[in-house]
């Protein structure tokens, strides 16, 4: 449990040329004054995060924030993911620099976050493949699900067996520029 901290509950940064690989199982990061958890890989290298039975709720900013910069790819795999009542996004990810984004989440409960429920941005050349299945994304302050592909690259989104409702703006906002 990484809860009730003055900053992030969990903050892991890889600031050199290597990769960031992490796995969280049966973890709570709730009621932190900033984010529940943050994973950052800033230079050339990949970021891979595996989640199982995690809860990032009631934090002062995003529930979970993942950022990958430089050359490299970003991968997130998870099941039984909860992010509710956060003052920012339930889950926010950014991939900057050339590289792919691959996200697969199952059994999600993302509700009543002040901003977006789930938000991913891919800024430079690279593909984005997002799959979210089974669960609920409801009552967000802005979009339920927001995906932006900002540059050249393949783009695919699979949303299945989800309830996406009661969000202040769009339920789903997917943009390729």
The rounded Cα 161 to chain-centroid distance in angstroms is 19
d(CA 71, CA 52): 27
Enumerate residues 6+ apart whose C-beta is below 8 A from 4.
Answer: 30, 31, 32
Q: Which two tokens stand for residue 101?
A: 């984004």
d(CA 151, CA 161): 29
d(CA 132, CA 139): 17
Quickly tell me which residue has 């690279």 as its tokens. Answer: 126
pLDDT tens track, the chain, 177 positions: 999 999 999 999 998 878 999 999 999 999 999 999 999 998 888 999 999 999 999 999 999 999 998 888 999 999 999 999 999 999 999 988 888 889 999 999 999 999 999 999 888 888 889 999 999 999 999 999 999 888 777 888 999 999 999 999 999 999 887
């Amino acid at each position: 449990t990484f809860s009730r901290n003055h900053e992030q509950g969990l903050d892991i940064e890889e600031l050199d040329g290597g990769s960031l690989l992490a796995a969280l199982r049966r973890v709570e990061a709730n009621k932190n004054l900033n984010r529940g958890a943050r994973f950052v890989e800033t230079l050339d290298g990949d970021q891979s995060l595996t989640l199982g039975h995690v809860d990032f709720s009631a934090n002062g900013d995003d529930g979970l924030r993942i950022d990958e910069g430089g050359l490299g790819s970003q991968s997130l795999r998870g099941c039984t993911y909860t992010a509710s009542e956060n003052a920012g996004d339930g889950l926010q990810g950014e991939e900057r620099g050339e590289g792919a984004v691959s996200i697969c989440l199952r059994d999600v409960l993302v509700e009543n976050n002040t901003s977006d429920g789930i938000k991913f941005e891919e800024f430079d050349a690279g593909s984005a493949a997002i799959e979210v299945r089974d669960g609920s994304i409801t009552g967000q302050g802005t979009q339920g699900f927001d995906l932006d592909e900002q540059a050249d690259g393949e783009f695919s989104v699979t949303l299945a067996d989800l309830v996406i409702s009661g969000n202040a703006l769009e339920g789903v906002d997917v943009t390729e520029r």
